[in-house]
Structures are given as C-alpha cells and as structure tokens.
Structure 1
Amino acid sequence: MKPAQPAPAAETQKSAVLLIDDEKPLLDVFTTALEPFYEVTTATSAREAEFILHKKAFKVVVADHLMPGGNGMNFLVRAREEYPHMQRILVTGYMKPEMLMRSVNEAALFRYLLKPVSLPELLKVIQEAVKVHDTAAAATR
C-alpha cells in the first residue's frame, strides 16, 4: 500500500512550510520532495528562520536540533510563544528523555523525527501537521 499523498492544491493555495537545517544539501533534497505539495521556504540557522517568521506566516516549521548558532529546540520553544497555531516538528539524531520532556512541555511539538528521515515519512508528518494547524486556526476564528 502506498503512503497517502496530499492532494495537489491550486498554486495559490499551497500551505507554507519552513525548513531549518544547517546542511544545505539536505534542505535541497527535502525541498525537492515537498515543493509539489507545499510552498517551501528554507533557512540554514535559527537566526535566519526567526527573521523569516517575522515576514511570513507558516503552517508548519521543521527544525533540525543541532545547528551552529542555536539549536532547533530553543527556536521551537520561542516560535510556540509567538506563533501558537504553527505546528512544530523537530528533527534529531537522538532523543534523550529530558529532551523528550522539554519537547512536550515547552515546545509543544507536533512530532519529532529521528534521523535519517525518510521522504515519505516527512511528507506524511507535514501533511498531518497542516491538518492540525487548519483545525486549530478554524476553531479560533
């Protein structure tokens, strides 16, 4: 059975997704896989991502945990405060128990993904996160 594919939306209706990772080749692979379904913006640092967030609204943000100049978890905790409906996904090589507790309590992650992340898994999780975002946003209107 094939994994569920999001229905291609009209060009103007694509959900905005922000990807943050210091590994540019990985960002390129993720972007290529996601662009048929989502409007993808990338950042190579938490600082760059924060700048981008002030200019544009995103339904989902996917952040790598360990990056030079700031980690993804701290970024997602701050993003939750300012953009509560935006769904947060952390990508990490290893989830320690204390990090898991922080992800639940402080960042309110939608999900975390362990590296290496498969493209079908990434696509499925983002698709689910967009649905949760839309439901939460509709409930507050």
Structure 2
Amino acid sequence: MSLEESTPSAPEVAREAVLVVDDERPLLEVFAEALGTRFDVTTATSAREAEFILRKKNFKVVIADHLMPGGNGMSFLVRAREEYPHMQRVLVTGYMKPEMLLRSVNEAALFRYLLKPVSVVELVNVVVEAAKLHDALVKVAADDVS
C-alpha cells in the first residue's frame, strides 16, 4: 500500500452558492470574479433567466441589478422572497428613491442594497454577511421543526 492510498484526502468543502443578475456583462463578470474566490457563483443576464436558474439550484444569496430590460431587479427580488424566503437578497442600484427604499424593506425584505459604483470589497463583505444570515435562519427554522 502506498502512502497516497493510506492517507485520506481532505474532504472537499462545498462553496456557498450565489446568484448574480445583471444585464451589463462587464459588470457581471467583475462581480463574478470578485465573488468567485470565495463562492460558487452563477450568473444571469435577466430576471427571467434568473428565475429559471432558481428552480434548478439552491442559493444562499442573490444579487440583482435594479434596472434591466424585460423586468426590474426589485420585482424579481420580491418574487424570489416569496418562493425562497431564507435566500438573502441584495439589490444593486444607481439611485435609491424613497419609495423604492420603502418597497425594498416591506416587499423584498432586502438584506442590503448597494449603490453604484459598487466596491468589490464591499460586495464580498455584504455577501459573506448575507450567507451567514441565511445559515442562521435555516438553523432556526430547522430547530423549530425538531
């Protein structure tokens, strides 16, 4: 028996899944690259594509741009909250109007919103915090069941 055969390999740690939705491919690529060192990142270029992806895989955090052709990020995040309540939602926007802020709290229950231009350091920190909250909420829900 060789040394390689007798030494158990370290178990591969599953990385936390994050979905990034933005119609601007260069920004989508920057976000995916920044998050990719720490998370399993999936990208979508529209709310419709993102909704399809959500049915195929579980995500801890979704980050969505507000203004996109064919539907806005806020409406997408409101729908996502209804179907995936533990998944944390982050909105990226160029400007947060008072009525949009109210909707973000009341309807989308955003974890956070980020104003453009978004610093990649801030983005990563927000997603790390959101993933931790996701895990805490899932644990509380599991404890309530048992």
Distance in structure 1 (CA, Å) of the matches to 2:122 and 2:75: 24
Q: What one-letter code is carried by the residue in structure 2 that aligns with 1:35?
A: G
Count of matched residue positions in the alignment of Structure 1 and Structure 2 = 132
- What TM-score does the superposition give when structure 1 sets the normalisation length? 0.92
Cα deviation, residue 33, structure 1: 1.1
Aligned residue in 1 for 2:23: 22
Aligned residue in 2 for 1:43: 44
Give 3-state SS (helix, strand or coil) of 2:100's partner: helix
**1:40-119 alignment runs, 5 A limit:** 40-119=41-120
1:83-112 deviation per Cα after TM superposition (whole angstroms, max 9, x unaligned): 000000000000000000000000000000
Q: What one-letter code is carried by the residue in structure 2 that aligns with 1:37?
A: R
Distance in structure 2 (CA, Å) of the matches to 1:57 and 1:25: 25
Aligned residue in 1 for 2:4: none
Aligned residue in 1 for 2:7: none
1:28-79 deviation per Cα after TM superposition (whole angstroms, max 9, x unaligned): 1111111110000000000000000000000000000000000000000000
1:106-140 deviation per Cα after TM superposition (whole angstroms, max 9, x unaligned): 00000000000000000000000000000000111
Bigger-Rg structure (1/2): 2
Q: CA RMSD in A?
A: 0.9
Percent of pairs with identical residues: 72
Point out 4+ residue stretches in structure 1 off by more than 6 angstroms. Answer: none
Q: What one-letter code is carried by the residue in structure 2 that aligns with 1:115?
A: K
Give 3-state SS (helix, strand or coil) of 1:120's partner: helix
Distance in structure 2 (CA, Å) of the matches to 1:103 and 1:22: 20
Distance in structure 2 (CA, Å) of the matches to 1:13 and 1:90: 25
> Unaligned stretches of 5+ in structure 1?
1-9
Give 3-state SS (helix, strand or coil) of 1:19's partner: strand
- What TM-score does the superposition give when structure 2 sets the normalisation length? 0.89
> Unaligned stretches of 5+ in structure 2?
1-10
Distance in structure 2 (CA, Å) of the matches to 1:109 and 1:64: 13
